[in-house]
């Protein structure tokens, strides 16, 4: 049996996010501190061009490289509150529309540059980076806890 096969056990029998995160932590342990593998590079959490919008409560910034925010379901859209929204992790089951007005899928093409962004969701790049760095540090610590759960799968 290869080490990767041991990591697949929590994924194969996963019942919740803890099992999936245990699988991820096991894979990170196999990879070690390395982030570059031939033609593949693993980016630090919060430094890529795509991420879940809920990790900053829908707040985003062009300056830090936010390009694609995903994990949105129409049934989970919420009304933006009338208060300053801080870029901190909240519920992964709700999101705010970053556009002023409705989303018109017929306008989703490469030549459309007419999007009007809701100013309440445009974040300060320094505040965003601080929040993403704090999240990355918390996740790194959690990886050790999830890796420890591997003992119940081997």
pLDDT in tens, 34-71: 889 999 998 887 778 788 888 899 999 988 888 888 87
Q: In the numeric block, which tokens belong to residue 23?
A: 């699988």
Cα–Cα distance measured from residue 121 to residue 14, given in angstroms and rounded to the nearest whole number? 35
pLDDT value of position 116: 84
* Candidate ranges 24-28, 44-48, 66-70, 81-85; pick with highest mean pLDDT: 24-28
Distances (CA, A) of 74 to 39, 102, 108, 130: 36, 11, 16, 29
Average pLDDT, the chain: 88
Q: What is the mean pLDDT of residues 87-106?
A: 84
pLDDT band (50, 70, 90) for residue 113: confident
pLDDT value of position 36: 92
pLDDT value of position 82: 87
pLDDT value of position 138: 92
pTM: 0.78
pLDDT value of position 22: 95
When comparing pLDDT for 47 and 13, which is higher?
Answer: 13
Residue-wise pLDDT for 115-144, tens only, equals 788 999 999 999 999 999 999 999 999 999
């Amino acid at each position: 049996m290869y080490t990767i096969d041991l990591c697949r056990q929590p994924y194969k029998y996963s019942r919740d996010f803890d099992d999936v995160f245990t699988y991820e932590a096991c894979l990170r342990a196999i990879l070690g501190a390395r982030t570059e593998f031939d033609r593949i590079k693993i980016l630090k959490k919060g430094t890529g061009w795509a991420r879940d919008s809920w990790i900053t409560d829908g707040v985003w910034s062009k300056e830090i490289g936010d390009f694609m925010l995903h994990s949105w379901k129409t049934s989970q859209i919420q009304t933006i509150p009338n208060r300053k929204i801080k870029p901190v992790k909240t519920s992964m089951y709700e999101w705010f529309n970053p556009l002023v007005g409705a989303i018109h899928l017929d306008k989703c093409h490469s030549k459309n540059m007419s999007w009007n962004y809701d100013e309440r969701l445009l974040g300060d790049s320094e505040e965003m980076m601080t929040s993403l760095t704090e999240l990355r540090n918390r996740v790194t610590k959690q990886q050790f806890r999830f890796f420890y759960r591997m003992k119940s799968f081997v």
